[in-house]
Structure 1
Amino acid sequence: MFDSSNLTYSVNNSTIVLRDDKKELLLVTPPKYKNIHVTRYNVELTDMKPDRRPNVKVIYLHEVFKREKTFFFVKAGDTEYQVDLKFEENPITPMKF
C-alpha cells in the first residue's frame, strides 16, 4: 500500500475528494481503461502516460479500493463527477445536485 499522509485527496467509501485545489491527481485505472486525469476544474480521460510529474500523483485504483468496485466520485473544484468504469465509452458524468 502507499503512504497517504502527504497526498492531496481523501477516500471515503467510493468517494475521492481533492483536498488542495492547487494540486492535480492522475488516477490510473485497471489496464482495460484509459487514464483518468483529475484537476481542480474537471475530470477527463487522457492518454498521458502514468509518469511522475510535478503536482501529479499516480494512484492505482485497485490500491485505493481493495474490493471490487466499478464506480467512484471525484470532487474537482465545485463540481462532483461520477466515474463509472462499467460504461467504457463514456465513464465520466458531472453530477448535478
Structure 2
Amino acid sequence: MLGNEEPYSLTGNTILLKDENKKLLLVTSDRYQNILVARSGVQLTDWEPQRRPGVKNVSVVELFKRDKTYFFVRAGGVEYQVDLKFEESPITEMKF
C-alpha cells in the first residue's frame, strides 16, 4: 500500500468507513452477495472482487479471521447491522 492508510478501521465487530470518499467491497462467502460500503449507505452488490479505482476489497473472513455472519458497519454517520443469516434482507439500518 506504500503508506496509504486503510479507508476503514475495525473495533470489536464494527467496521468503520473512515474515508467517506472511498468505498469498501466486503467480499463474503459464495452463498451471499458481496456488500458494498459507501458514504451513502451499505448494500448488497453483485460486484466481483476485482480491483476498481477508489474501492478497497476486504474479505469478511480476513477481517474477522473466520466466516463471521454477524457484524456492524458505520458509514456516513449511520450504523448498519449486517446479519448474513437473513439471506433475503441481511442489512438493517440501526435507529438509536
Alpha-carbon distance in 1 for matches of 2:42, 2:14: 14
- Structure 1's consecutive aligned runs of 4 or more residues displaced over 4 angstroms after TM superposition are none
Separation (CA, whole Å) in 2 of partners of 1:49 and 1:69: 20
Q: How does 1:1-97 map to 2 (within 5 A)?
A: 6-97=5-96
CA distance in 2, matches of 1:88, 1:20: 28
Query: What is the root-mean-square deviation in Å for CA atoms of aligned residues?
Result: 1.2
CA distance in structure 1 between the aligned counterparts of 2:94 and 2:49, rounded to whole angstroms: 26
CA contact (8 A) 2:15 2:72 kept: yes
Q: Percent identity?
A: 58
Q: Match of 1:24, as an amino acid? A: K
Alpha-carbon distance in 1 for matches of 2:65, 2:52:
26
TM-score of the pair, normalised by structure 2: 0.90
* Cα deviation code 1:15-48 (max 9, x no counterpart): 0001111111111111111010010110001111
Give the unaligned 5+ runs of structure 1: none
Q: Write the deviation string for residues 34-80 of structure 1: whole angstroms up to 9, x where unpaired.
A: 01001011000111111101110111111100145321111110211
In 2: Cα distance, 1:62 partner to 1:82 partner? 17
TM-score, normalised with respect to structure 1 = 0.89
Identify the range of structure 1 (67-76 vs 22-31) with the bigger mean alpha-carbon deviation: 67-76
